[in-house]
Structures are given as structure tokens and as C-alpha cells.
Amino acid sequence: MPLTDRQFEQYQTDGYVVVDDVLSEAEVSGLKTRLREYVRGDREEEGFERMLEPAVDPAEFEREGDPVRKFEGVGMAREDDVFADLATHEGILEVVTQLQGPNLKLLRCAGMLKPPGVGSAKKFHQDAAYYPIHPMDHVTVWVALDEATTENGCMQVVPGAHTDGMLEHEAEAYDTDITVAERDYDESDTEALPMDLGDALFQHCLLPHYTAPNESDRWRRAMIVAYMRSRSRFSTDDRPEWVDSLAVAGEEFPGCV
């Protein structure tokens, strides 16, 4: 179902909207099964990478790969039919089309695992800081594969702060992480977004957000698919090596990302 007028207004005002039951239980189950196959080495990653929890010794775990933090890369959707089905999911694309128009490219695909007891925090950041492209309005879709709660690290956002524009970020010790360097808000200004499995958060790329560590005994798995307009262009002369794209709807245009 498309966004209602009220949901569309919330996205424009607050920078996000949660839509319930975008994925069926069968679709969620299929995604969790496929992620588990990659974690355990039953399938080999092609066109994407795995990243482990930085503060965890893999030798402490019974099976190699258990402390996987995430899988990352548009190749997930290019090379694997289960992830491709998510990236081209009719319900997801219907909403993104309302927000960005009919011509869309997939900018990001990732599996976020946050394992029980060891899943680390992701500090305040804006997704746009990783992608030097214009217009700076791409949409991140965060799909819950487990019940996401404040105890296991649900998404937490600063409503309306996407209107502050791009904030300065600084690198963290973990080389793929960045965090907002200075800000006028803290955790007390955030809104926690508990979600049931199959729910989807549609989030503006400039919306500051973070997730707390998973201190529970339950998984908090999620998938991310992010979309940009097919006419998007780089705002720098150098294409970052991690930026990739895949046409998923409408037309493509020469000279664009």
C-alpha cells in the first residue's frame, strides 16, 4: 500500500516513517535463512563483504562467523536472488517511488546482524555522509527481521533534524564507521522506534540516528536497502570505492551515478 497523506507528511516533517507489515513472515524467514547460510560459510560472498564485531574474538564462539556484524555491498542484490527480491520488492518500491519518483537506483544493500550480547552500538551519524552524491535526499529503508526493541538495539532517530543539513563527521577507530563530530542534541532528544519483524523504516539520508548495543539474549537482525534518484550525480571528482549502484526501476541516464 502507498503512504497515506499523513504518512507522507510525517516523512517530510520528521524525516522518517515506519510502515507496518511490508514483508510477510515467509519473506522474513527466507532472508534470515539466507543470512545464516552466509554467516556459517554455506555460501560464499560474491560482490560484497562481511564485517565482524570489532571488540569480539571470533575464537570465543563455537562456530566461525557467529560474531558477524554485517554484510555490505550492492553485490548482495546483484548476485543473490533472495536479496534481489528484497531490493525490487513491490511494497518497498511503491513507497520509495512516492518519495523520489519513478526512476530509481539501489545505492546500498546490507544485512545488519547485531548478535545477542555482543552486537555493538552504531553511533550518531547521517547516511548521506558516506555517499557524496546530489541531490542529497536518498532514502534508506531499514527492514526488521526480528522484533527490534530498546534492549536489543532498535533504531533511534532525532525527528526533524534532517532539515539541519549535512553535519561534520569524524572517523572512528573501526575503519568503516564515522560519527557526528559536534551536535546540539543527545540521546534524550531521540525517539526510539521499536518494530516488529516485517516492518520497514523509510528514512531520509540526512536524518541523524544511532542504535544502542544489543545487551539482550535475542538477535536483532535487519536488512538495509537504500535508493537514490537515477539522475543522481557525484558531488566530488573521485568516486569512493564503496559506492556502487544497480538500476531497479524506471530509466537510467548517462553520466549519473
Q: What pLDDT digit, counting tens, does each position of 69-94 carry?
A: 999 999 999 999 999 999 999 999 99
* Cβ-contact 181, 122 below 8 angstroms: no
Q: Residue 197: inside a domain, yes or no?
A: yes
Q: Residue 113: inside a domain, yes or no?
A: yes
Q: Residue 15: inside a domain, yes or no?
A: yes
Query: Is the predicted pLDDT of residue 195 greater than 70, yes or no?
Result: yes
**Could you give the angle at which helices 5-14 and 90-100 cross, rounded to 10 degrees?**
60
179: pLDDT confidence band, cut at 50, 70 and 90? confident
* Total residues found in the chain within this entry: 257
pTM: 0.93
Q: Residue 181: inside a domain, yes or no?
A: yes
Residue 122 C-alpha cell reads as 552504531
pLDDT score, position 59: 64
pLDDT score, position 60: 64
* Cβ-contact 70, 112 below 8 angstroms: yes
Provide the mean pLDDT of the chain. 91
The DSSP symbol for 188 reads G
Q: Residue 50: inside a domain, yes or no?
A: yes
3-state secondary structure of 240: coil
Q: Residue 107: inside a domain, yes or no?
A: yes
pLDDT score, position 182: 67
64: pLDDT confidence band, cut at 50, 70 and 90? very low
User: pLDDT tens, 1-49?
Assistant: 799 999 999 999 999 999 999 999 999 999 999 999 999 989 999 999 9
pLDDT score, position 237: 78
Question: Domain residues for 109?
Answer: 5-249
Q: Residue 254: inside a domain, yes or no?
A: no
User: Which among 164, 183, 175 has a CA at the least distance from the CA of 130?
Assistant: 175
CATH number of the domain at 141, please.
2.60.120.620
Domain count, the chain: 1
pLDDT score, position 61: 63
